[in-house]
Amino acid sequence: DVVMTQSPLSLPVTLGQPASISCRSSQSLVHSDGNTYLNWFQQRPGQSPRRLIYKISNRDSGVPDRFSGSGSATDFTLKISRVEAEDVGVYYCMQGTHWPYTFGQGTRLEIK
Amino acid sequence: EVQVVESGGGLVQPGGSLRLSCSASGFAFSTYPMDWFRQAPGKELEYVSAISSNGGSTYYADSVKGRFTISRDNSKNTLYLQMISLRAEDTAVYYCVRSKSWDYWGQGTLVTVSS
């Protein structure tokens, strides 16, 4: 199975400051169809996961533009340019290239 | 509006069975492969099972292989997960999601395996 490793696992951030989460995969996530199925999800306390970013860098509808995704092959990053209170929660990267699809351990973002 | 609504969870004793359902609306259900995920309390998300759009192909995580069966009824826009020989470690919220997009998540249904 592809192992997804996130860091940090805990991320205290001051309101208005930037935040960055790293996600590394144990093998390349480039699919034979040419796509890289690397997604980022946000899970607010008590809520279901919400997809923020798909295929590395495509922001979902309704997702604020302070969220951005980047990376390639095995190394990916989610950035929040200015953290707001509503961003508190757990962030997961997920690969959908290799079966079985796997998630990172999650990064808990909290306000400092 | 795309919606998926999971149901069928509950409290069951170890070794027991449950059948989860997922009712989909707002999209062409029969054209999408579908996935089941789960999340144990306080834990990360875990992939459970997948099914192709016509139901002809199915996939299972090693942790549930031989105990869970995924199926679908495209005439009813419904996805199922039959679970037998349940264990304490199957306790989780179960979600159904459109595969390859993973864009719409329901509220999930809680399965608790406990005596």
Using a 10 angstrom Cβ sphere, with 0-12 exposed, 13-18 middle and 19 or more buried, the burial of residue A95 is: buried
Structure tokens at B50: 């997948």
Residue of A96, A99, A106 lying closest to B102 (CB–CB) = A96
Percent of chain A's residues with pLDDT above 90: 98
A60/B59 Cβ within 8 A: no
What average pLDDT does this structure show over A1-17?
97
B47/A101 Cβ within 8 A: yes
Residues B90, B91, B95, CA angle at the centre, nearest 5°?
90
Coil, strand or helix: which one is B36? strand
Q: Enumerate residue ranges in chain B where pLDDT < 70.
A: none
Residue of A60, A103, A106 lying closest to B103 (CB–CB) = A60
Q: Examine the pLDDT at A77 and tell me if it is beyond 90.
A: yes
- Residue A39's nearest CA partner among A89, A1, A94, A112 is A94
A39/B47 Cβ within 8 A: no
Q: Assess contact for A87 and A81: CB atoms under 8 A.
A: no
Q: How confident is the model at residue A87 (pLDDT cuts 50, 70, 90)?
A: very high
pLDDT at B100: 84
List of chain B residues whose C-beta atoms are within 8 Å of the C-beta of residue A36 = none
Coil, strand or helix: which one is B55? coil
pLDDT at B73: 98
Query: What residue type is A101 in one-letter code?
Result: Y
- Residue B75's nearest CA partner among B55, B94, B56 is B55
Residue from B59, B102, B103 whose CB has the most chain A CBs within 10 Å, to mutate = B102
Please tell me what DSSP assigns to residue A30.
Answer: B
Count of pairs with CB atoms under 8 A, one residue in A, one in B? 44
Burial code of B24-33, b = ≥16 C-beta within 10 A, e = fewer? beebebeebb
Residues A26, A92, A29, CA angle at the centre, nearest 5°?
35
